[in-house]
Amino acid sequence: MNHKRKKINRIKVIISAGVALLLVLIALFASVIAPNDPYATSASAIRSAPSGEFLFGTDNLGRCVFSRVLYGARTTIAATFILVAISFILGSIIGILSGYYGGILDEIMMRIADIMLAFPQMVVAIAVAGILGGGLSSAMIALGITMWTGFARLARSHTFAIKNCPYVQAAKLAGKSGPAIMMAHILPNIIAPLLTNALTQIGTTMIGISGLSFLGLGVVPPTAEWGSMINESRAYIQIAPWAVLYPAIATIVTIIVFNYLGDCVMEYRDED
């Protein structure tokens, strides 16, 4: 019974990981797959309905929506991955250091994390992105300010739990240095929950980045990004609904795939 469930869970993980990988590959090879230049405007093909030439139709500047969705995938997915990766690395380093050395460093770091956690992420992000002025990098900084805390807390509590284990103590007695122990003995043992957390953060981060872009606080037009595409074309949604619906579907599908993958991996790990 349990064995069977575990097997089903593993299949779920593999399938959703496969689909997620496919999305990443599409984003990576956007320039190869895209039939048209996503930035080429065409006065003769403004807001034309989906057809053989323009699979998803065109927007009000005559740009190919399909190509823009593909390039948008690159912007959104890349920005998300980079942001999650940076938060993951920084947060984990801070968390492991805090957990391993404890004391005053730990106290300071965790107080900072507490303060960051005390404020609503999107409110902080909007204000910070607003002050820094538009641009993808400022949107990423704005979201990252609060995001690292989750990783730091997780890494800290796991480090705390294992730092007195015999093998860590043995390494200490053998005269290994702190950083060496952290790299060789602590990190490998706590990386799994951290990675799972990173995975579950992808969906939320994507919502955050496209939300900021939608508000005009993320990417600067004409760069293709789903949130800003939806924002630009919603004004003429009754004339050219495809210019909104296709990036919308792309956003929804991507978030659902990554959220599902996150859920599956969590469930799979819980089974152990």
Partner 1 sequence: MAKQILKRILGLALILLVLSFLVFGIMYLAPGDPAEKRLTSQGVVVTKEILQAERERLGLLRPFIVRYADWLRNVLRGDFGVSFKDDLPVAPKLIKGLKNTCGLALTSLLLALIISFPLGIWSAVKKGKLVDHIVRLFSFIGNSLPNFLISVLLMYLFCIHIKVFPVIADGSIKGLMLPALSLAIPMAGRFTRQVRSELLDQLGEEYVVGMKSRKVKGRFILINNVLRNSLGHILTIIGLQIGTLMGGSVVIENIFRWPGIGKLVMDSITARDYPVIMGFVLIMGTIYVVINLIVDITYRLLDPRSF
Q: At what angle do helices 136-162 and 65-101 cross, to 10 degrees?
A: 40
Q: Does 45 bind partner 1 (CB under 8 A)?
A: no
Q: How far is the CB of 117 from partner 1 (least distance, A)?
A: 10
- Contact criterion met (CB below 8 Å) for 30 and 42: no
Q: How far is the CB of 257 from partner 1 (least distance, A)?
A: 9
**Contact stretch for partner 1 (CB under 8 A) within 62-70, 78-86, 155-163, 251-259:** 251-259
Q: What distances in angstroms separate CA 251 from CA 94, 118, 163, 215, 254, one per listed residue?
A: 32, 29, 41, 16, 5
Q: How far is the CB of 166 from partner 1 (least distance, A)?
A: 34
Q: How far is the CB of 209 from partner 1 (least distance, A)?
A: 10
**Contact stretch for partner 1 (CB under 8 A) within 8-16, 44-52, 99-107, 246-254:** 246-254
Mark residue 151 as left, alpha or beta (left: phi above 0; alpha: psi -120 to 50; beta: remaining).
alpha
**Contact stretch for partner 1 (CB under 8 A) within 10-18, 48-56, 123-131, 158-166:** 123-131
Q: Does 234 bind partner 1 (CB under 8 A)?
A: yes
- Contact criterion met (CB below 8 Å) for 237 and 246: no
> 64 pairs with which residues across the strands?
58
Q: Going residue by residue from 180 to 209, which x/- string records binding to partner 1, judged by CB under 8 A?
A: -----------------------x---x--
Q: Does 266 bind partner 1 (CB under 8 A)?
A: no
Q: CB within 8 A of 79, min separation 6: which ones?
A: 136, 139, 140, 209
Q: How far is the CB of 132 from partner 1 (least distance, A)?
A: 7
Q: Does 227 bind partner 1 (CB under 8 A)?
A: yes
Tokens 């496969």 sit at which residue? 18
Q: How far is the CB of 128 from partner 1 (least distance, A)?
A: 7
Q: Is residue 61 classed exposed, middle or buried when 0-12, 13-18 and 19+ CB atoms within 10 A define those classes?
A: middle
Q: Going residue by residue from 82 to 121, which x/- string records binding to partner 1, judged by CB under 8 A?
A: --------------------------------xx--xxxx
Instruction: Please give the Cα distance from 203 to 265 (Å, whole number).
Output: 14
Q: How far is the CB of 139 from partner 1 (least distance, A)?
A: 13
Contacts 24+ apart (CB under 8 A), 54-58: 56/242, 56/246, 57/240, 57/242, 57/243, 57/246, 58/240, 58/243
Please name which of 146, 247, 160 lies closest in space to residue 204, comparing C-alpha atoms: 146
Q: In the set 132, 162, 187, 191, which binds partner 1 (CB under 8 A)?
A: 132
Q: Does 128 bind partner 1 (CB under 8 A)?
A: yes
Residues in contact with partner 1 by CB under 8 A are 114-115, 118-128, 130-133, 203, 207, 210-211, 214-215, 217, 227, 230-231, 234, 237-238, 241, 244-245, 248, 251-252, 255-256, 259-260, 263
